[in-house]
Each structure stands twice: as C-alpha cells, then as structure tokens.
Amino acid sequence: MRTFGGFLDNGSRIYGEVRGEEVHLLARPFWLGLEFNGEVRSLGELTIDLPVAPSKVIAVGLNYSEHIKEMQRTEIGSPLIWFKAPSSLLPHNDTIRIAFPEHKTDFETELAVVIGASAKNVAVERALNHVFGYTIAEDISDRDLQKSEKQFGRCKSFDTYTPVGPFVYTEIDPGDLEISLQQNGEVKQRARTSQMIYPVAAIVAFASQALTLLPGDLILTGTPSGVGPLRAGDSLVATVGDWPILRNRVENADC
C-alpha cells in the first residue's frame, strides 16, 4: 500500500507521498501523475489538509441491504447517484458544523474512490484501471431536508458535510475491507465492503455512462446500516481496513 496526501505548509497547499514519518513532495497533485520534486519534509511539521480537490463529488445511495431496510426503502435496480458540492469537503481533525441544529442530521461512513484517469462509457472489466486510489469519507445528511425535498444535493452539501481523508491509498483491493464508525467511542456502524450491492467497478462504470469522470473526482460508494444523529460535542472516528483513522468533532454552525 502506498499513501498520498494533501498538506498545508505556511498556508500553501502541497501534495506528497507519506513514507513513515517523511513526506516526499510532488510537483503536482498525485492524481495528475507521480512527479516528485526531490524535497522531503517531516510529516510532523505539516498540517494534514484535504487529500483531494475534485471537480465533482458523486455519492451513491442504497448500496448496503441492511441500510436499505433501516431507511425503509427498496432496491431500485441500479446505483442511485447524486452530487455533493466540493465545498462540503472537510479534512481530518476539522469540525463538522451542523447547519440546522433543530434538524435530525445523521452520520454515514463510506469507502470513497479517487479517479486517476478520465473515464467515459468504460466497461466494468476495465473500470478499476481508471481508479487512482481510495480514502475514507462521511456523508453527513440533514434528514429533515432529505424528506421534504426531492433532490439530495442540498441536504448533503452544507459546508463541512463531507469529511474525507486523512490520506489516499493505492495498491488496494477494495473488495472486502472492514468499514466502521465510532461516535464518542461507541461503534455505530460496522460492515465489510463485500456487502455492497454494487462494487466499486460497477459504480465507476455506471457513473461513466452518464458523465465523464475526471482525474481527482471523488465517488462515495454508500454507507452500511447503523446511521444515526449527530449532536454538538460529538467525536466521530471512521475507519476502513487498517488505514489511519478519519477523526472529526461536531459543533453547531452558530457556535
């Protein structure tokens, strides 16, 4: 497994490959090609920032049978996709700010896919050739708005509603990874990616039929059962496999 990330260095965003406690800097974002500039920095002296800067964020719903049951929905026969605003992305260790504290706002943890090569109308058999790597994400969802509006974009796109990171991982088989979320130290979600109705290759191929996937684009592959409400003061820890954890805290937006 190789590990890549985005970092802040005196206010400037840089990208590099994490090798132990070292970050080997890249001349450009890693999804555009691995060109190292020869500079090596200590991981401890950099601030972990968003690992991606996608042109679009695609979310997939109803991709775990038990989650379909808890949401009292039915399978629709194909991946359910919608868009989340890239401005909703939130880095590791930053704060989720609940836009409407009086609304029921749920956590959802997910395996996320980072596109590495443009894809349009790709076959399932070739879809993974267009993937750069994988990361951890959460799809924070305002259920009051989700129920009252026909589209999912607004209820899931408030600022801070897509935590992602801390890094992006390559040379990964996404077919059977454990995925989990802890809220205040209590496990709320736990499943394996092998339980997804539509695996990564099928999702990438399906999305590419409708639109062109570009390098750096992010696809959230759906959440397992166990979703639940957030409250100010919560601490969330999301995990996939044995990767470093994604940790975020929660506040109300008016705090």
Is 192 found in the same domain as 71? yes
Give tens-digit pLDDT for 172-203. Answer: 999 999 999 999 999 999 999 999 999 999 99
Is 65 found in the same domain as 29? no
Spatial separation of the C-alpha atoms in residues 41 and 24, rounded to whole Å:
7
Is 32 found in the same domain as 123? no
Structural domain for 31, as ranges: 2-49
pLDDT the model gives residue 47: 96
Is 173 found in the same domain as 61? yes
Is 26 found in the same domain as 71? no
Is 67 found in the same domain as 172? yes
Spatial separation of the C-alpha atoms in residues 34 and 48, rounded to whole Å:
19
Q: CATH number for the domain including 212?
A: 3.90.850.10
Is 119 found in the same domain as 15? no
Q: Domain count of the chain?
A: 2
Identify whether the C-beta of residue 198 lies closer than 8 Å to the C-beta of residue 64: no
Spatial separation of the C-alpha atoms in residues 228 and 112, rounded to whole Å:
20
The answer on pLDDT for 254 being more than 90 is no
Place 88 in a pLDDT band, splitting at 50, 70 and 90.
very high
Longest dimension (CA), the chain: 53
Give tens-digit pLDDT for 116-153. Answer: 999 999 999 999 999 999 999 999 999 999 989 877 88
Question: What are the helix (H) ranges across the chain?
Answer: 65-70, 124-127, 143-148, 200-210
The answer on pLDDT for 60 being more than 70 is yes
Is 15 found in the same domain as 116? no
% of the chain beyond a pLDDT of 70 = 100
Place 26 in a pLDDT band, splitting at 50, 70 and 90.
very high
Average pLDDT, the chain: 96
- Measured CA to CA in angstroms, residue 144 lies from 38, 88, 101, 240 at distances of 50, 18, 11, 28
pLDDT the model gives residue 36: 97
% of the chain beyond a pLDDT of 90 = 89
Q: CATH number for the domain including 9?
A: 2.30.30
The answer on pLDDT for 48 being more than 80 is yes
Spatial separation of the C-alpha atoms in residues 106 and 142, rounded to whole Å:
7
Place 255 in a pLDDT band, splitting at 50, 70 and 90.
low
Residue with tokens 């937006």: 253
Is 152 found in the same domain as 38? no
pLDDT the model gives residue 77: 84
Is 36 found in the same domain as 68? no
Instruction: Identify the bridge partners of residue 81 per DSSP, sorted by sequence position.
Output: 60
Spatial separation of the C-alpha atoms in residues 116 and 172, rounded to whole Å:
14
DSSP SS3 for 244: coil
Is 215 found in the same domain as 94? yes
Is 207 found in the same domain as 122? yes
